[in-house]
A and B are shown apart, each in its own frame.
Chain A
Amino acid sequence: EAGVAQSPRYKIIEKRQSVAFWCNPISGHATLYWYQQILGQGPKLLIQFQNNGVVDDSQLPKDRFSAERLKGVDSTLKIQPAKLEDSAVYLCASSFIWTGMNTEAFFGQGTRLTVV
């Protein structure tokens, strides 16, 4: 079974520039998450999709971050313009629609963003 695919793996940009990350979840997974993980901290949920609808985006800085999930499959996360504090690893994860005890989320390898 193919895992969650993310690209690029690494990105270095200057502050005020724009950047986009791509995620392809595991086939059949209706739920897709974007997390931001700053070095030494736990993953922080930015946005969660159920199919192509947003379930939660309460911690997404909407003045600069945007995300979409076209056709309920692939997703892109964009930052425009980037700030120094956006330097982090951006993790995409997916899971089945929750039913019963099936709660495992599968994570991609992440995109390490450095803003200079």
Chain B
Amino acid sequence: GQSLEQPSEVTAVEGAIVQINCTYQTSGFYGLSWYQQHDGGAPTFLSYNALDGLEETGRFSSFLSRSDSYGYLLLQELQMKDSASYFCAVRDTGGFKTIFGAGTRLFVKA
């Protein structure tokens, strides 16, 4: 079967750095994506890793280790507006199907 594990909740203070981990177990793997979703809003794409290593996009970075079936999303210089749910998603072999994790709810405190 296919499963993705990520923490259900994370709390951090404004200006801090937070890391959201994701481990996956899938029958095939092509890449790991991260999406952000504010309450009542649509998921929006943040990043995608197909190869091992770190991808940086502004305050957000994403890391992948294919040998460990593990990735993380790193958010730096946290702002109140970063309070949202963050989902990791695995793209299966062939790139046709994307499976989402249950999501991590991030609370940013002043």
Contact = CB atoms under 8 A, between A and B. Distances in A.
Interface residues on B, range: 20 to 34
Interface in B17-51: 31, 33, 41-45, 48, 50
A48 B42 contact: no
Given A103-B33, A103-B91, A104-B48, A45 B42 contact: no
Nearest to B31: A103
Contacts, number: 51
B55 to A, nearest CB: 10
Interface residues of A, number: 23
B29 to A, nearest CB: 13
A44 interface: yes
A91 B42 contact: yes
Interface of B: 4, 31, 33, 41-45, 48, 50, 87, 91, 95-103
7 contacts: A48-B96, A50-B96, A98-B95, A103-B50, A105-B98, A107-B42, A109-B42
Given A101-B48, A105-B45, 15 more contacts: A35-B100, A42-B4, A42-B100, A43-B43, A45-B98, A55-B97, A56-B96, A56-B97, A93-B43, A98-B96, A103-B91, A107-B42, A107-B43, A107-B44, A108-B42
